[in-house]
Amino acid sequence: MLDTPRFTEVTPTADIRVARHGNRAKCLQRLIRMDLPVPQTVALPFDAVRDIAAGRMPDLATLLALFDDGAPVLLSVRSSSQTPDWGGPGAVLNVGMTAAVRDALAATMGGEAADRLFVRFVRDYATDVMRLDGAAFDGADPEAALAAYEAEMDEPFPEDPARQLREVLRSMARAWEGTSARLLRQAQGAPADAGLGLVVQRMAQGMAPGQSGAGVIQFVDPETGAPQVTGRYMAGAMGREALGAETSLYLTHDLRGPSLEDRLPEVFGELVEIGARCRVRLREEMQVEFTLEQGRLHVLDAVRCPRGPRAAVAIATALARDGVIPRSEAITRIPPGTLSQLLHRQVAPGAARDVLARGIAASPGAAAGRIVFDSAAAQASQSRDERCILVRRETAPEDVRGMHAADGILTERGGTTSHAAVIARGLGLPCVTGAEIVVDHKAREVRLPGGGTLREGDEITIDGTAGTVLAGRVATVEPAMDGAFADLMGWADAVRDIGVRVNADTPADASLARGFGVDGIGLCRTEHMFFEEDRLTVMREMIFADRDADRVAALDRLLPMQRADFAELFRLMEGLPVCIRLLDPPLHEFLPGTTEGMRALAEALGQPLARVRARIEAMGEFNPMLGMRGVRLGIAVPGIYEMQARAIFEAVAQTGGVVPEIMIPLVTARREVELVRARIDAVAAEVRAETGAAFDYRLGVMVETPRAALRAGEIAEQAAFLSFGTNDLTQMTYGLSRDDAGRFMSAYVNQGVYPEDPFQTLDIDGVGELLLLGAQRGRATRGDVTLALCGEHGGDPEAIAFCRLAGFDYVSCSPFRVPVAKLAAAQATLLAQEANARAK
Amino acid sequence: MLDTPRFTEVTPTADIRVARHGNRAKCLQRLIRMDLPVPQTVALPFDAVRDIAAGRMPDLATLLALFDDGAPVLLSVRSSSQTPDWGGPGAVLNVGMTAAVRDALAATMGGEAADRLFVRFVRDYATDVMRLDGAAFDGADPEAALAAYEAEMDEPFPEDPARQLREVLRSMARAWEGTSARLLRQAQGAPADAGLGLVVQRMAQGMAPGQSGAGVIQFVDPETGAPQVTGRYMAGAMGREALGAETSLYLTHDLRGPSLEDRLPEVFGELVEIGARCRVRLREEMQVEFTLEQGRLHVLDAVRCPRGPRAAVAIATALARDGVIPRSEAITRIPPGTLSQLLHRQVAPGAARDVLARGIAASPGAAAGRIVFDSAAAQASQSRDERCILVRRETAPEDVRGMHAADGILTERGGTTSHAAVIARGLGLPCVTGAEIVVDHKAREVRLPGGGTLREGDEITIDGTAGTVLAGRVATVEPAMDGAFADLMGWADAVRDIGVRVNADTPADASLARGFGVDGIGLCRTEHMFFEEDRLTVMREMIFADRDADRVAALDRLLPMQRADFAELFRLMEGLPVCIRLLDPPLHEFLPGTTEGMRALAEALGQPLARVRARIEAMGEFNPMLGMRGVRLGIAVPGIYEMQARAIFEAVAQTGGVVPEIMIPLVTARREVELVRARIDAVAAEVRAETGAAFDYRLGVMVETPRAALRAGEIAEQAAFLSFGTNDLTQMTYGLSRDDAGRFMSAYVNQGVYPEDPFQTLDIDGVGELLLLGAQRGRATRGDVTLALCGEHGGDPEAIAFCRLAGFDYVSCSPFRVPVAKLAAAQATLLAQEANARAK
């Protein structure tokens, strides 16, 4: 077997690979190839470091000989993991420092500086390598530092550079194997066998006399990504010291104090020129670590410039606009999920966070305000122009008014797809559900897990991105949808080959989504249209109708309201498809849950409260999710779907410009579709005859039961489209209610029972197979059947890539997920094109 | 195209087929082949009758010419459908009767008899053929009858025999096409295009002078199937008149009155001899319709002797014991579902039924008793030795004591697999669920659909076989498991090649099932073990434990109770496998639902009522079926499963003789099984070490979520058996709660949305595909994985045949379904053997 080299000097032609030596080693080679003044560097590959941890040291004499130029040599050792995010032990500088080296340095940089450098190395070696307490070395002179070391270690400080290097390498190699380091990098996605490379570099001495010092420079603002030289420089310093020091210089001319640009304009110019070269040659905005040694510039390292999501978009689009990278690469560089942070107000990155409770991150963004416990209080707050957070045990249709008035929602119960979460995402409101709090509506207080209590009027901040409840009013930053964002979206639209529609129930949703540039409405849930107060009353009268005539009368009153809803949607979405789901939830969801609400209903109906209560109780179900809802309701009370179909057709007869799609929910068998289809076709014929309008429509099925997926072949005979509702499909495939899963889902994911929460990330193995089966069978029966995914997973990048592969026509997601979905769709398309190109 | 004959004279060699001429025509041919004295007969095939209905009459002159022997001829016309159950219009006798024929008959039988015969035919023709009101003909003489006919019809009574025959044939052919006849036969399983044959037969004249008359004879008791000549004979009568008449004779010697055996011993002897020949030649107990014409015996017809389920078993097994049919045929002749009627007390066949309300037939059998509304009243009733029916809105664990004390259960809510239904079937109690009643526990009354009200103490009868509530105390008949039943079971056991186990939770279930001869326990639900009062209290303490130590203490108290349960089961089932399902239901099911119950619990725990109520409410779930239950509970509160495993192992260490099977419920992912398995293996190791006992066990999975079926391949890596729980699997595949489905399932089935209630009949297309996928994938991973179906469908013959084909090892069903399942399994095996034999 061929021996792999135990270390390699990094030269333009050396065989340095990211997968063997790590990212830093490779990056240094690239800098060297650009002829940048990089000090001499040797790279140790992963397997060598693994051997070091196991006690097998490479030949250090040979390694040190590479650096031997007759003078004393000082070295830095830095980690080089495969991906910067996976971390690695901190750098150790000035390895090789001995009393003899100190004396030699004293001759060039003066005794005081040499002593400082010496003591500093002894301290670093003692603490970072030998794991001693650093306090004994603070402010010590060389003798005292050596004495402290010997007292602690029972042996003198090693004077042998090879011994020092060996201990440094061993210490760093072992630190990589430690449990906490392992867990941290695995949390960042590192595999269990991720390796560590090490880079040994000749020190450029920023503590040398004359024009010496060290600094860090980057050329864009880390928050906005706008061109802006950023960083600090400090004379007589080394490494990244300049960043934390008060005495360090600004880099570019600055009113706040002296700058490198003013003091050493040539060096500054050289750095700017290096930055520009790096940007083009490395195709990235880099952060450059540099040292000035007696007037001579050394580039020690360069890393991908750290950035927030907004800066990431700005940098990638700028690189593409400048022709440095193609647009397709700008698209693939942005993790789609980070976009949603641009669309919502967020907790300011630097703000102090006093976490009162944790919960489920149900709708992104942050909001601060006073606690209110009901809709009336939320509306009162709004009328006073006061920000408020609506806190409920759980929300119900009656709370929707309050949710409109509130700035954020916090609930004790529910998960990512509970009523509160779905409505909040639709409204773009931050929402935390399933929080570890106890909401006592009677006492109007919230009990916290720590034992504290919050009362109505107390100020809190909820962070729906992180799923936390914070004490007081925490600073937030505004959303940022700038030109770069618009460019990125435009490019993604040009690339993607799967449609992105929006789940939009209201004109507000529809307008918002048109602003994001959608391909239509993929899911308009009509139930939300009945939750406004005047309609809710009529709806309740319809439900309580004892005689058919009363029911028809109530439906007749609902008809013009529904028609107006649809007409407005159709006008807003002109030219685009609008898919309307017929009424889905169990009727009892429209009934009041409180005595107060029941009394109001009893008054409206002129019936005794006891009778109203009894009927509401009689309508209760053991498992409403699996009960009398969806198409079952449509078959049991045909008047509802007929009214809705008439409203749709009359609206389209009025407005034109849209081919409405009518979707039947909760289907399990073909015959259900046949029955509903016959009635809807009849209504269409009536409306055509009455209005004289010629309009088309498409009728399809929401596939959300496992049976509908399995029987998609015969169902497609009756359906122009199959839209997979993965919320319910996931619930039924797992036998797991999303509303009840919150209690144990995080424990389940933490124990690795499920790799991910299947309500957040599409379960490809289980639910995904049903999607595939359904898609194949549907297409086998009807080659042109439209396939879609609607539901929360419509905004999940993995689900989008999966749907694209399965030949779906579009995905549909909540308005604020549309940009995420479009970017993810474009990335999936590019990835597939790339794979195809490789395969050819 | 070859013309099919429009009619065929029935001779021993004629081409008469059941599928073309109907069952009666074929049967008559068989009688003719036996040289029985059958009058001349002509058969019209289905297509001829269809033509007749459409107005295309066959050549009746030719037909009549077949009967022409120079004398006046009278004919009967009878229907001949493919299967007797499909019905058909009633017979018309004496067709061809005219004034001339009357005169001719008067010469032989006397004027009075001839007039009677004439008037009777005019009346039958007028009412049955011309659809006139019969009142005008009652007691009329010939002139008056003819006048009445002419007055009504505006034309004289037809004197032309061909015209009479044409009208009779047309009338019968059209009656077959009528909507109500069509619906009735389709309810009996007839296809939409089922045809009707007609049989035209020369009349044997029972009203002739001398030894003339008509009767019906059969040779077994219709209820018990015991050998017993049954039937009646009446002189001067025709058709089946003897059966309804007070003056008719008994057949065999009878203390109640004169008999044919006494009066005409030769005729009687001839009939007995005919019966014996029929039994052997036709391989069936026949009912023979005969006419005596001036001393000469004619056999007009013979049909399969009508019989109840008990007689069916007795007849089939007797035929097999006598070597008339093979045992395999005896097995296939009994519809398995009818067996359950032998195991339970039933409403007496002739009893008057005043139906107060209808509901779901949730557990078979009939019971009469006084209404009670709670467990205490049921127990009080029992202590007074008074029969009672427990009436509840729905039942909960707290009601189980009352169910034990009651004679039947009636609930307003729930379906075939609700708590009430499952418990009732386990106890063998009649049960009607989801009845159209309103139970008012406060007022202690039941409101009926018709507007009436029943109060506590009122007597009712519930018929759990039919799903009805009957007024008062209706007569019932006892169950009948006699020698014939035992023979049939033994033969079925010898034939079947798929196992039948029992779902048994209690020693009583287990004993009962051993009595039926099962292959083991396929599902022992442990939750029922905690519903006894002393245990429920400890269970509740466990649930309410605030500290781990308290929970452990409660579990420690439950351990010996569980151990004793299992030890008793193991002793009872010695030598057979026992499959125990670990705790499945959500914990809150064990908590009290009433204020009274909560107060008792608060007292037991020494906690304030408000706190107990708040915690119970906090444990509530939106969709308990899809909530924190099954293995989710096992992972969240590991102590429960560990206690149960320990109880199982300690019991088997005590008793030996059984290899326990431990089943994990509600699995969705392999990792769940891994986690539970690791703990159970550890407990087993502990118990082995503590007791020194060597015992084996098998660990498997209940596949009841669609995902578990889809992922059965990887789950089988961790599971020795996969038992498909089709109750829950059906719920989840359909997205349909069995408890809530009752409200609309019957409407759904009536509208043909679902062909059958999928909770009653396995949905082969949907749920069945998941079973197949799961079975294939499980076997692919682990060739010897045991496959089973447990749940209500385990007793469904179609499901059993399906499981057999899918290679399942056994099905498991409730104790009283075991005989049904064994017979169905044997039939499925025989059917497959027959198909294989044909294929060779």
What is the dihedral angle through the alpha carbons of A115, A116, A119, A124, rounded to the nearest 10 degrees?
-150
Cα–Cα distance, A311 to A683 (Å, whole number) = 54
Give the pLDDT band (50/70/90) at residue A482: confident
Give the whole-number percent of chain B exceeding pLDDT 90: 64
Best B419, B736, B745 member to test A by mutation, with max A CBs in 10 Å, is B736
Residue recorded with tokens 């689900």: A799
Query: Hey, which residues does B288 pair with through a beta bridge?
Result: B217, B302
Task: Please report the residues numbered 642 through 681 in chain A whose beta carbons come closer than 8 angstroms to any beta carbon of chain B.
Answer: 666, 668-669, 671-672, 675
Give the pLDDT band (50/70/90) at residue B310: confident
Give the strands of the sheet with B445-447, arranged side by side.
Answer: B438-440, B445-447, B453-455
- Give the SS3 label for residue A351: coil
Q: Is pLDDT at A743 greater than 80 in this prediction?
A: no
Return the top range by mean pLDDT from A449-453, A547-551, A769-773: A769-773
- One-character DSSP codes across A533-546: HHHHHHHHHHHH-S
What is the arithmetic mean of pLDDT over A237-248? Answer: 81
Give the pLDDT band (50/70/90) at residue A3: low
Spell out where B534-597 has E strands: 578-581
Q: Based on the residue annotation, tell me whether A253 is a catalytic residue of this protein.
A: no
pLDDT tens digits along B605-650: 888 888 888 888 888 888 889 999 999 999 999 999 999 999 999 9
Residue A706 to chain B, least CA–CA distance (Å): 5
What is the arithmetic mean of pLDDT over B420-436? Answer: 86
The pLDDT value recorded for residue A176 is 95
Question: Is any Cβ of chain A less than 8 angstroms from the Cβ of B772?
Answer: no
The pLDDT value recorded for residue B446 is 93
Mean pLDDT lowest among A38-42, A288-292, B106-110, B270-274:
B106-110
The pLDDT value recorded for residue B644 is 97
- Residue A292: φ, ψ to 5°: -105, 120
Q: How far is CA B365 from the centre of its chain?
A: 11
pLDDT tens digits along B782-840: 999 999 999 889 989 999 999 999 999 999 998 888 999 999 999 999 999 999 998 87
Give the pLDDT band (50/70/90) at residue A424: confident
3-state helix, strand, coil in chain A (%, to 5): 50, 20, 35
Query: Hey, which residues does A605 pair with through a beta bridge?
Result: none
Across the interface, do B671 and A734 touch by the CB < 8 Å criterion?
Answer: no
Which of B707, B737, B743 has the CB atom closest to A623's CB atom? B737
pLDDT tens digits along A513-523: 888 899 999 99
Sequence-distant (6+) residues with CB within 8 A of A283 are A319, A324, A325, A329
Q: How far is CA A659 from CA A341, A520, A686, A695, B527, in A?
A: 34, 11, 18, 7, 54
pLDDT tens digits along B718-776: 999 999 999 999 999 999 998 788 778 878 888 889 998 898 899 999 999 999 999 99
The pLDDT value recorded for residue A1 is 38
Spell out where B644-768 has E strands: 660-664, 698-703, 721-725
Q: Shortest CA distance to B225 belongs to which of B128, B306, B142, B283?
A: B306
Q: How far is CA B94 from the centre of its chain?
A: 40
Q: Check: CB of residue A188 under 8 Å from CB of residue A87.
A: yes
Tell me the three-class secondary structure of B149-166, residue by residue.
HHHHHCCCCCCCHHHHHH
Q: Read off the tokens for A577.
A: 């498809």
Please list every residue in chain B whose beta carbon sits closer than 8 Å to the beta carbon of residue A670. Answer: none
A33/B795: higher pLDDT: A33
Secondary structure tally for chain A: helices H, strands E? 34, 31
CB neighbours (10 Å) of residue B236?
A: 16
Helix extents (H) in A81-126: 99-109, 111-124
Q: Read off the tokens for A471.
A: 């004490």
Q: Check: CB of residue A622 under 8 Å from CB of residue B737.
A: yes
A203/A531: higher pLDDT: A203
Q: Read off the tokens for A48.
A: 């060598």
pLDDT tens digits along A609-664: 888 888 888 888 888 899 999 999 999 999 999 999 999 999 999 998 899 999 99
Across the interface, do B626 and A731 touch by the CB < 8 Å criterion?
Answer: yes
Best B436, B740, B770, B776 member to test A by mutation, with max A CBs in 10 Å, is B740
Please list every residue in chain A whose beta carbon sits closer than 8 Å to the beta carbon of residue B436. Answer: none
The pLDDT value recorded for residue A745 is 83
Strands B721-725 and B196-202: unpaired
ipTM field: 0.80
Give the whole-number percent of chain A exceeding pLDDT 70: 99
Helix extents (H) in A384-472: 400-405, 419-427
Give the pLDDT band (50/70/90) at residue A5: low
Cα–Cα distance, B361 to A253 (Å, whole number) = 89
Strands A786-790 and A810-813: parallel
Q: Is pLDDT at A183 greater than 90 in this prediction?
A: no
pLDDT tens digits along B57-100: 999 999 999 999 888 899 999 999 999 889 899 999 999 999 98
Residue recorded with tokens 């390694």: A63
Q: Please identify every residue of B annotated as catalytic.
A: 419, 790
Q: Is pLDDT at A785 greater than 60 in this prediction?
A: yes
pLDDT tens digits along B557-567: 999 999 999 99
What is the arithmetic mean of pLDDT over B381-397? Answer: 88
Q: Is pLDDT at A278 greater than 80 in this prediction?
A: yes
Q: How far is CA A107 from CA A103, A116, A117, A677, B375, in A?
A: 7, 14, 13, 95, 102
Across the interface, do A740 and B711 touch by the CB < 8 Å criterion?
Answer: no
Q: Is pLDDT at B278 greater than 50 in this prediction?
A: yes
Q: Check: CB of residue B375 under 8 Å from CB of residue B394.
A: no
Please list every residue in chain A whose beta carbon sits closer than 8 Å to the beta carbon of residue B766. Answer: 668, 706-707, 710-711
- Give the SS3 label for residue B367: strand
What is the per-residue burial (b if ≥16 Cβ within 10 Å, else e) of B433-451?
bbbebebeeeebbbbbeee
Across the interface, do B735 and A666 touch by the CB < 8 Å criterion?
Answer: yes
Q: Is pLDDT at A223 greater than 70 in this prediction?
A: yes
The pLDDT value recorded for residue B5 is 65
Angle between the N-to-C axes of helices A738-750 and A726-734, in degrees from 0 to 180, rounded to the nearest 10 = 70
Count of pairs with CB atoms under 8 A, one residue in A, one in B = 166
Task: Please report the residues numbered 606 through 645 in chain B whose beta carbons come closer than 8 angstroms to any beta carbon of chain A.
Answer: 618, 621-628, 632, 635-636
Across the interface, do B733 and A769 touch by the CB < 8 Å criterion?
Answer: no
Give the pLDDT band (50/70/90) at residue A460: very high
Q: What angle do CA A468, A472, A476 make, to 5 degrees?
A: 70
Please list every residue in chain B whose beta carbon sits closer than 8 Å to the beta carbon of residue A748. Answer: 632, 635
pLDDT tens digits along A322-371: 999 999 999 999 999 888 778 888 888 778 889 999 998 888 889 999 99
Cα–Cα distance, A319 to A323 (Å, whole number) = 6
Q: Read off the tokens for A297.
A: 């510039």
Q: Is pLDDT at B1 greater than 60 in this prediction?
A: no
Q: Is pLDDT at B15 greater than 50 in this prediction?
A: yes
pLDDT tens digits along A66-117: 999 888 899 999 999 999 889 899 999 999 999 989 998 888 888 888 998 9
Cα–Cα distance, A423 to A403 (Å, whole number) = 8
The pLDDT value recorded for residue A738 is 84
Across the interface, do A624 and B623 touch by the CB < 8 Å criterion?
Answer: yes
